């Protein structure tokens, strides 16, 4: 079976790559090309493994999508053509009766509220952009308009295993995480989005935790230590980043 001969590197990876040393960045690029060519990748660099994990997952998803598209086109070719293109969403807008209002609406982009049945009301909203076409008559014409919806940014899948392994390796003085419960996964997803899908930032966060005598139970007269679940509460994440528990 023919393999995909290209891959995509997304711009949101730039911040993470820039935080790597030139040597590690070069190794990361070689790992990406090796994976694209189907070669086995072996490295003893935990940081590179962590950074490469979401890139590898995205490349695999792109390759799978490409394969499905290729198979669909192949099947369509056997039937005599490409699959029909999906029609753009349409909505109906009834022009007002007053001629002055019609002139103001002609070829003008306005925000309107579109319900699930495709009908448009007169209330101005910010969630849907509708482009009004040229009216063909002056009275009560039903005009077809195209609904343009903003494209949502795709979320980067949360690398649960990489985050847990990084915590266990960095914060050795704390109780390690062994079981990924649904509650913990939910907390990790929130933290992953909070750190803007940047594994390097999460690693530095763990280093900050490990350097705190208070959080790690090294302060005299105190037996308390923080836990995996405690540091991933959003309020505690903010306090740690702001330096509330930094050694003084």
pLDDT given for residue 60 in this prediction: 80
Q: Please return the burial class of 168, using the count of CB atoms within 10 Å of its CB with bins 0-12, 13-18 and 19+.
A: middle
Task: Record the pTM.
Answer: 0.42
pLDDT given for residue 43 in this prediction: 76
**Residue 79, phi then psi, degrees to nearest 5:** -95, 0
Whether 199 contacts 162, CB under 8 Å? yes
**Residue 246, phi then psi, degrees to nearest 5:** -70, 140
How far apart CA 200 and CA 20 sit, in angstroms, is 8
Cα–Cα distances in Å, from 71 out to 67, 75, 79?
Answer: 6, 6, 13
How far apart CA 51 and CA 32 sit, in angstroms, is 11
Cα–Cα distances in Å, from 162 out to 45, 148, 157, 168, 219?
Answer: 13, 38, 12, 10, 29
How far apart CA 102 and CA 119 sit, in angstroms, is 19
pLDDT given for residue 30 in this prediction: 86
Residue tagged 């959003």 (tokens): 234
Q: Consecutive sets of 10 residues in the chain, 248 residues long: mean pLDDT of each?
A: 67 75 83 79 78 80 79 72 52 44 45 42 42 47 46 73 95 92 94 94 96 92 92 96 93
The neighbouring-strand residues paired with 120 are: 114
Beta-carbon contacts of 93 under 8 Å, excluding residues fewer than 6 positions away, are 112, 120, 130, 132, 142, 143, 144, 145
């Amino acid at each position: 079976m023919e393999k995909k001969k290209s891959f995509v590197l997304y711009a949101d990876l730039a911040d993470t790559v820039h935080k790597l040393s030139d040597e590690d960045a070069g190794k990361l690029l070689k790992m990406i090309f090796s994976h694209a060519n189907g070669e086995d990748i072996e490295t003893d660099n935990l940081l590179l493994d962590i950074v490469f994990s979401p890139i590898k997952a995205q490349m695999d998803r792109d390759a799978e999508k490409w394969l499905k598209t290729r198979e669909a086109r192949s099947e369509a070719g056997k039937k005599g053509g490409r699959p029909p293109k999906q029609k753009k969403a349409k909505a109906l807008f009834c022009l007002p009766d007053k001629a002055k209002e019609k002139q103001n609406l002609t070829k003008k982009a306005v925000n309107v509220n579109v319900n699930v049945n495709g009908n448009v009301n007169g209330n101005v909203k910010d969630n849907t952009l509708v482009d009004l076409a040229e009216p063909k008559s002056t009275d009560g014409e039903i005009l077809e308009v195209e609904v343009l919806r903003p494209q949502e940014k795709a979320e980067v899948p949360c690398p649960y295993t990489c985050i847990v392994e990084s915590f266990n390796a960095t914060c050795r003085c704390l109780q390690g995480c062994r079981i990924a419960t649904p509650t913990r996964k939910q907390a990790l997803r929130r933290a992953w989005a909070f750190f803007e899908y940047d594994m390097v930032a999460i690693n530095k966060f763990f280093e900050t935790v490990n350097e705190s005598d208070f959080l790690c139970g090294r302060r005299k007269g105190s037996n308390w230590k923080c836990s995996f679940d405690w540091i991933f509460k959003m309020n505690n994440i903010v306090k740690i980043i702001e330096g509330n528990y930094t050694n003084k």
